[in-house]
Chain A
């Protein structure tokens, strides 16, 4: 069984730039959620994708956007980067049909904005 994989693992950007982070969901999972984890904090929900549509969004501005592809992989795009966007971005996959809401997380992409 293949777990959740994310790329890149680390990246450095400057303010105002744009970034795309990628995620492949665990085999058999059709739902992908993205979380932002600032240093010393718990993860915060950004949004979730199911059947290629956004299926719930947290308190993040529109410059955070995403996509889900037919193979259930997903992208997180962040435009006009700000210093506060520096964080670990975690992708989690799940199966809505399974019904427990349990999330399986990838290793994360650590973004540093200078």
Chain B
């Protein structure tokens, strides 16, 4: 079964700093998704990465995908408090049901002043 590992699982960072969250997965996949979840809330889609080398940016967040290394990164630039949330990466196993996603355990991000 496809395994998805995120690290770190907990991240506490000061406003204005930069950091990267890593997502490794165990089996060939061409599709990777990043979601954000606020406490007690649902998952909000952030990025959809559909090919090797894909890079997407939205505000202070940038996501990239290296399918050869089976690695995606979510880079945070100049963090602000509003980015505090849990971030999940999810992978769509090639050949499986489209929409059947395997999620990592999530990275709980806290941004402090």
Binding site for A on B (CB under 8 A): 1, 4, 31, 33, 35, 41-45, 48, 50, 88, 90, 92, 96-106
Which listed residue (A40, A41, A45, A99) contacts B101, Cβ 8 A?
Answer: A45
Distance (whole angstroms) from the CB of B104 to the closest CB of chain A: 5
CA separation between A107 and B38, bound complex, in Å? 11
Q: Is the CB of A92 within 8 A of B100?
A: no
A103 at the B interface (CB under 8 A): yes
Given contacts A56-B97, A103-B99, contact A42 B45 (CB under 8 A): no
Complex alpha-carbon distance, A114 and B45, angstroms: 32
> Shortest CB–CB separation between residue A5 and chain B, in angstroms?
11
Chain A residues with Cβ below 8 Å from B31 are 100-101
Contact of B98 among A58, A90, A96, A104 (CB under 8 A): A96
Q: What A residues does B43 contact at CB under 8 A?
A: 43, 90, 103, 105
Taking CB atoms, residues of chain A closer than 8 Å to B104 are 42
